[in-house]
Amino acid sequence: MQQAGLADDDDEEIWVKEEDDEEEEDGYYMDPRSPAVWTPGGRAGGTSNRRRAREEKERTKMRERQRRAITGRILAGLRQHGNYRLRARADINEVIAALAREAGWVVLPDGTTFPSSSSFAAVAAQPPRPVMVAAASPSATPLALPASSALPLRGIAPVAARPISHRPAPAFALLLPPRAAAASRSPADDVPDGNSSHLLAVPVPVPMDPAAAEDVPVAKQLQVPDVSPRPPERDFAGTPYVPVYVMLPLGVVNGNGEVVDADELVGQLRVLKASGVDGVMVDCWWGNVEAHKPQEYNWTGYRRLFQMIRELKLKLQVVMSFHECGGNVGDDISIPLPHWVIEIGRSNPDIYFTDRAGRRNTECLSWGVDKERVLQGRTAVEVYFDFMRSFRVEFDEYFEDGIISEIEIGLGACGELRYPSYPAKHGWKYPGIGEFQCYDRYLQKSLRKAAEARGHTIWARGPDNAGHYNSEPNLTGFFCDGGDYDSYYGRFFLSWYSQALVDHADRVLMLARLAFEGTNIAVKVSGVHWWYKTASHAAELTAGFYNPCNRDGYAPIAAVLKKYDAALNFTCVELRTMDQHEVYPEAFADPEGLVWQVLNAAWDAGIQVASENALPCYDRDGFNKILENAKPLNDPDGRHLLGFTYLRLGKDLFERPNFFEFERFIKRMHGKMYWQLE
């Protein structure tokens, strides 16, 4: 039998019969001259067949609606009772993938599926979460399995931890590693025996009587553990050693030159040292040190802090923070620019970055004053150089002893090399594209000179169709697909705007290299990952990174860092593109793609790369993402990060589950063997 015309995958109502069928009642056969028309007994039947085709289409639509309804109920059940992480409009492929992972299979993003090579180890490593099965008789028979005595929560074998199967499992699958059992056991589970060891009660599923099962609701027949499928973890044993630093609180030294909560800080630093942390990062705030008068520096609080750190044999990364603190994500204190600078700003607000509406951003000085003597007879770069030179002289012994391992040079907003294009104080909210910050009179003067040199004085202006802080690219004339960003004027303006950023880095790094000769220096570059999947990369453009889809905007930055032998410190290495898509699908973000582009731009230029997390990170998935970026798999050149700095020291980090994951992460960054993770 053969099906043709409007065929469906269901084998119902087959209309075609072949000629070799012996004397069928209807005598249907296919006319070879018109394969889509069926003629009973050789006579034309077009009208009847069209009617049948319409009826078949309606039946097909009905079957599709029924399938979708069934899929919707399956999804609802899995989300409600199984805690599957499925989005509301998940398709059948995602359902199948989730079920396959639950059964212990590995499903790659492209659909490639294969059985896990460590299925037994994966089950063994799973914490003991009982699978409860309802039954007419006793629901579960406790099986007492010996386990080791209680041990401190230090680590577990880094194998894939997939959920326990919800089907009856063989006895060997319920055996747990002693340390994992001890770590997850509650006091109620501890039953001492004659050998002072412990017994771990593990419920064993008992098959349910089918007759009894009919009276038990499905939700009560099976309680799914609150776990998510986890793919096999990569083994980092024997990989290169990547040092891990921890950022200290922003206000660890206050404006009076005192270390805040010094005793508590020492205790926290001791714990970090014991966990294997290599050192800490400290912000040296321009607004605290040179607060009242030009060239009068107060390093008292930092000297005491550095002494505490040296006594604990930790390394130091020090940030020259030439920006204010407060008003950005993660800022929990307020440290303004020096008071004498603020006084100058009151009479000359053009020393600050300015948006198209004339709003001033006091977070840092405009790059337009880098070479303007507006700071009581000094230029901005001279002020930065004097500050850095004073620090180098004051802490000479820490440089000589190698305690200070790196100096990070603040080059813009948040200490990052970027324009302050997305300030929360001006109403910006994620994932807004931000605004260009080039309307102070000094940068406008630079723009006019560039336009005149190009021979188009009419281009001496900022875009008038670039939207506002919270616009979307496709709703603006400048950033939309085929918009003005790719016109002759647009390319001129963006080239000038991004070159001003690179020139600022060039000027400050030249003096930083003089001040810190023989010391490692670094520059932090912001990870502007939202709108990365659009053609214009609007948020990157307003931040100063000329990185549309047809241009590499990070190669010029890598080149200037190479010129002064500076490392590139990049953020957002813990973020996953899929997570961003689930939370903000409208942002078209791609942090993984951005990180990969920046890392390769730096490595291709021959400079070292370090990184830090953009947001607080306590979960294993986030730490694993950092590890993947720190040590790329199968890199033919064996490239890896120079170091990683964790943001940030706080009480949340020392909560037991959080610190357990953090300590485990440190050991993997250090390339420890499996047994050393415990």
- Averaged pLDDT, 570-593: 95
CA dihedral sign of residues 112, 113, 119, 124: positive
- Averaged pLDDT, 67-84: 72
Active site (annotated) includes residue 382: no
CA-only gyration radius of the chain, Å: 32
Q: Under a CB-based contact definition with an 8 Å cutoff, are residues 63 and 55 in contact?
A: no
Judged by average pLDDT, the poorest of 106-120, 314-328, 387-401, 587-601 is 106-120
Residue 79 has what pLDDT?
A: 67
Q: Convert the pLDDT of each residue in 481-501 to its tens digit.
A: 999 999 999 999 999 999 999
Mean pLDDT for the chain? 80
Statement: residue 301 has pLDDT above 50: yes
Q: Under a CB-based contact definition with an 8 Å cutoff, are residues 350 and 375 in contact?
A: no
Residue 130 has what pLDDT?
A: 42
Percentage of the residues of the chain whose pLDDT score is greater than 70:
73
Of 290, 416, 472, 592, which one is the catalytic site residue? 416
Active site (annotated) includes residue 416: yes
* Banded pLDDT at 105 (limits 50, 70, 90): confident
Residue 165 has what pLDDT?
A: 34
Residue 489 burial (C-beta neighbours within 10 Å; 0-12, 13-18, 19+): middle
Q: Convert the pLDDT of each residue in 544-581 to its tens digit.
A: 999 999 999 999 999 999 999 999 999 999 999 999 99
Q: Convert the pLDDT of each residue in 217-242 to its tens digit.
A: 544 444 555 555 666 889 999 999 99
Which residue did the predictor score with more confidence, 140 or 670? 670
Structure tokens at 79: 């989300």
Statement: residue 171 has pLDDT above 50: no
Q: Convert the pLDDT of each residue in 341-370 to its tens digit.
A: 999 999 999 999 999 999 999 999 999 999
Helices 92-102, 46-82: crossing angle, 10 deg rounding: 40
571 marked as binding residue: yes
* Banded pLDDT at 654 (limits 50, 70, 90): very high
529 marked as binding residue: yes
- Give the C-alpha distances (Å, rounded to integers) separating 298 from 194, 261, 292, 559: 66, 19, 10, 35
In the chain, the domains with their CATH numbers are 247-670 (3.20.20.80)
614 marked as binding residue: yes
Q: Convert the pLDDT of each residue in 511-552 to its tens digit.
A: 999 999 999 999 999 999 999 999 999 999 999 999 999 999
Statement: residue 161 has pLDDT above 50: no
Q: Convert the pLDDT of each residue in 446-495 to its tens digit.
A: 999 999 999 999 999 999 999 999 999 999 999 999 999 999 999 999 99
Statement: residue 617 has pLDDT above 60: yes
635 marked as binding residue: no
Query: What size, in residues, is the chain?
Result: 678
* Banded pLDDT at 94 (limits 50, 70, 90): confident
In a 13 Å sphere around the CA of 468, the CA atoms on its Cβ side amount to 8
Statement: residue 188 has pLDDT above 50: no
Statement: residue 2 has pLDDT above 90: no
Q: Convert the pLDDT of each residue in 414-453 to its tens digit.
A: 999 999 999 999 999 999 999 999 999 999 999 999 999 9
* Banded pLDDT at 326 (limits 50, 70, 90): confident
List, in order, residues 6 or more apart from 140 with CB less than 8 Å away: 130, 132, 133, 203, 204, 205, 206
List, in order, residues 6 or more apart from 593 with CB less than 8 Å away: 529, 532, 533, 577
Percentage of the residues of the chain whose pLDDT score is greater than 90:
63
- Averaged pLDDT, 624-628: 96
Residue 67 has what pLDDT?
A: 77
Of 612, 661, 663, 678, which one is the catalytic site residue? 612
- Averaged pLDDT, 289-293: 97
From the list 323, 304, 311, the residue with the least C-alpha distance to 259 is 304
* Banded pLDDT at 83 (limits 50, 70, 90): low
Q: Under a CB-based contact definition with an 8 Å cutoff, are residues 68 and 62 in contact?
A: no
Could you give the angle at the alpha carbon of 431 between the alpha carbons of 425 and 432, nearest 5°? 60
Statement: residue 374 has pLDDT above 80: yes
- Averaged pLDDT, 31-49: 48
504 marked as binding residue: no
* Banded pLDDT at 23 (limits 50, 70, 90): very low
Which residue did the predictor score with more confidence, 527 or 153? 527
Statement: residue 5 has pLDDT above 70: no
To the nearest 10°, report the CA torsion of 188, 191, 197, 198: -50
Phi, psi at residue 315, to the nearest 5°? -85, 165
672 marked as binding residue: no
Q: How many C-beta neighbours within 10 Å does residue 82 have?
A: 20
Residue 332 has what pLDDT?
A: 75
Statement: residue 319 has pLDDT above 50: yes
457 marked as binding residue: no
Statement: residue 179 has pLDDT above 50: no
Statement: residue 43 has pLDDT above 70: no
Residue 574 has what pLDDT?
A: 95
Residue 295 has what pLDDT?
A: 97
* Banded pLDDT at 53 (limits 50, 70, 90): confident
* Identity at 305, one-letter amino acid code: L
198 marked as binding residue: no
* Banded pLDDT at 676 (limits 50, 70, 90): low
Residue 649 has what pLDDT?
A: 97
d(CA 595, CA 243): 19
323 marked as binding residue: yes
- Averaged pLDDT, 600-609: 97
What 3-state DSSP class applies to 280? strand
